[in-house]
């Protein structure tokens, strides 16, 4: 039996797609092994959000070549979509597929003669309207279900619309069918993922609210999480539904990206900070224990010291539990690469550290706020120094002494014992 190894960079959407591709190889008598092991096929599913992600891609290619110079090395995904010619110059790369064709990877590899002239195959993604569903298989307790792909927003800092194309999704009916497949596999938790999931269904006359109402009816799936949703697309009816639903958890990830209206307008975001604050406060009033996370980009062109300090003040005023901090990275296909007001890289890094420290303080405060909370915890299977871990409904990490009987089980626990130095509660 041949062996295949995957290395996935970037977002949860990439991980869902890699898992789906790996499953196809396994179904066709391949053994999936760790990327560090010797394999017959190495697949690098790439990201292009930052220069760091692209550097990691190149490193992974070199590692694969060193593991087995005779292996087939396939580079797929966003970086492959945008920089196929650059990747083609790397000696040892055999196949390059963009986002329009990466789901056909197994067919390309198993029919080398038929596709011999097309192993470097990157279509114009802007013309692609097909939606290819996928979901992750590897985790015993949860999975990531891809419900949407592409983006119509064209924010000035972002190259993703050029890498993944325009927004598209399946129908509610077909998405429900995929979710039911997961239910039969014993998954207790499903994370809805995509590039801009709030746009779900808009080309079919459907919407995200209609989808989550139908998903909530699948009794076998005990928990859902919404991976990330734009502030202008998360409506009161969505929030109110999550608050009263059977399975949707009080956990929201809402991109902010900048903390002043000047920067938001420069980024071509579709909201101002007043709307963002309104969404965060509406959720907090409805669900005081909800975990609220936000993305923030540091060092975008035009971010003066005044703008940065205003961002700090704005974030400090909100009941957020965590920040995902990204240091701004110029993307070749984005509009902002030519903007004036560039922030020196050393200042970007300094500001990134400041925001990360603010995030740590907010997370600590959120955990302390939840002392005494009656949590619903889904336990995972990994063992770490005699402990097993799980996440509460509101995304608090919880630990207990390892006992296999709890794996993939949901228990009610009152959170009282917060570890003095670690970010988790301990169940005695």
Q: Report pLDDT digits (tens) over 62-82.
A: 999 999 999 999 999 998 898
pLDDT score, position 115? 55
> Is residue 336 within 8 Å of residue 330, measured between CB atoms?
yes
Candidates 2.60.40, 2.30.30, 2.40.50, 2.40.380; correct CATH number of 374-427? 2.40.50
pLDDT band at 274 (very low <50, low <70, confident <90, very high): very high
Query: Mean pLDDT score of the chain, rounded to an integer?
Result: 92
CATH code for the part of the protein at 2-123: 3.40.50.12160
The per-residue pLDDT for 116 is 57
- Residue 270 reports pLDDT greater than 70: yes
pLDDT over 70 (residue 395) = yes
Residue 353 pLDDT level (bands cut at 50, 70, 90):
very high
Which pair of structure tokens corresponds to residue 290?
A: 């909800």
pLDDT band per the 50, 70, 90 thresholds, residue 121: low
Lowest-confidence range among 328-342, 378-392, 393-407?
A: 328-342
- With a cut of 70, say whether residue 412 has pLDDT above it: yes
pLDDT at 138 over 80: no
Decide the pairing of beta strands 387-392 and 397-401.
antiparallel
Categorize the per-residue pLDDT at 336 as very low, low, confident or very high, splitting at 50, 70 and 90: very high
- Its pTM stands at 0.91
331 pLDDT band (50/70/90 cuts)? confident
Domain parsing of the chain, residue ranges: 2-123, 142-369, 374-427
Q: Assign 139 a pLDDT band (cuts: 50, 70, 90).
A: low
Which of residues 128 and 17 earns the better pLDDT score? 17
pLDDT-based confidence at 392, cuts 50/70/90? very high
User: In the predicted model, is pLDDT for residue 122 greater than 80?
Assistant: no
What's the topology of domain 142-369? pyruvate-formate lyase- activating enzyme (3.80.30)
pLDDT of residue 54: 79
pLDDT computed for residue 52 by the predictor: 79
3-state secondary structure the chain: CEEEEEEECCCHHHHHHHHHHHHHHHHCCEEEECCCCCCCEEEEEECCCCHHHHHHHHHHHHHHHHHCCCCEEEEEEHHHHHCHHHHHCCCCCCEEECCCCHHHHHHHHHCCCCCHHHCEECCCHHHCCCCCCCECCCCCCEEEEECEECCCCCCCCCCHHHHHCCCEECCHHHHHHHHHHHHHCCCCEEEEECCCHHHCCCCCCCCHHHHHHHHCCCCCCCEEEECCCCCCCCCHHHHHHHHHCCCECCEEECCCECCCHHHHHHCCCCCCHHHHHHHHHHHHHHCCCCEEEEEEEECCCCCCHHHHHHHHHHHHCCCCCEEEEEECCCCCCCHHHHCCCCCCHHHHHHHHHHHHHHHHHHHHHHHHHCCCCEEEEEEEEEEECCEEEEEECCCCEEEEECCHHHCCCEEEEECCCECCCCCCEEEC
pLDDT at 149: 95
């Amino acid at each position: 039996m041949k062996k295949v190894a995957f290395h996935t960079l970037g977002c949860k959407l990439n991980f869902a797609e890699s898992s789906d591709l790996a499953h196809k190889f396994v179904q066709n008598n391949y053994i999936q092994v760790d990327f560090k092991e010797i394999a017959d096929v190495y697949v690098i599913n790439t990201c292009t959000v930052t220069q760091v992600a692209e550097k990691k891609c190149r490193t992974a290619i070199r590692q694969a070549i060193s593991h087995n110079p005779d292996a087939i090395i396939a580079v797929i995904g966003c970086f492959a979509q945008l920089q196929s010619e650059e990747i083609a110059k790397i000696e040892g790369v055999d196949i390059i597929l963009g986002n329009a064709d990466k789901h056909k990877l197994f067919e390309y590899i198993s029919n080398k003669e038929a596709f011999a002239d097309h192993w470097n195959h990157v279509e114009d993604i802007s013309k692609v309207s097909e939606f290819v569903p996928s979901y992750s298989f590897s985790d015993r307790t949860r999975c990531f279900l891809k419900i949407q792909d592409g983006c119509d927003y064209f924010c000035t800092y972002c190259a993703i619309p050029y890498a993944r194309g325009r927004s598209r999704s399946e129908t509610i009916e077909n998405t429900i069918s995929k979710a039911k497949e997961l239910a039969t596999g014993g998954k207790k938790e499903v994370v809805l993922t995509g590039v801009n999931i709030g746009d779900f269904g808009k080309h079919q006359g459907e919407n995200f609210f209609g989808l989550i109402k139908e998903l909530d009816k699948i009794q076998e799936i005990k928990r859902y999480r919404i991976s990330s949703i734009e502030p202008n697309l998360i409506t009161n009816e969505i929030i109110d539904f999550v608050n009263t639903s059977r399975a949707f958890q009080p956990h929201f990830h809402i991109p902010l990206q900048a903390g002043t209206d000047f920067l938001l307008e420069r980024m071509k975001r579709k909201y101002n900070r007043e709307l963002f604050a309104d969404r965060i406060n509406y959720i907090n009033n409805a669900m005081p224990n909800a975990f609220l996370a936000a993305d923030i980009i540091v060092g975008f062109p035009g971010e003066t010291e005044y703008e940065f300090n205003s961002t700090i003040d704005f974030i400090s005023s909100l009941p957020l539990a965590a920040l995902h901090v990204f240091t701004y990275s110029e993307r070749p296909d984005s509009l902002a690469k030519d903007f004036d007001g560039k922030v020196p890289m050393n200042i970007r890094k300094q500001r990134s550290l400041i925001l990360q420290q603010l995030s740590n303080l907010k997370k600590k405060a959120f955990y302390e706020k939840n002392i005494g909370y009656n949590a619903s915890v889904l336990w995972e299977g990994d063992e770490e120094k005699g402990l097993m871990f799980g996440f509460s409904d509101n995304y608090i990490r919880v630990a207990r002494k390892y006992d296999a009987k709890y794996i993939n089980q949901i228990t009610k626990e009152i959170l009282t014992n917060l570890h003095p130095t670690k970010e988790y509660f301990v169940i005695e």
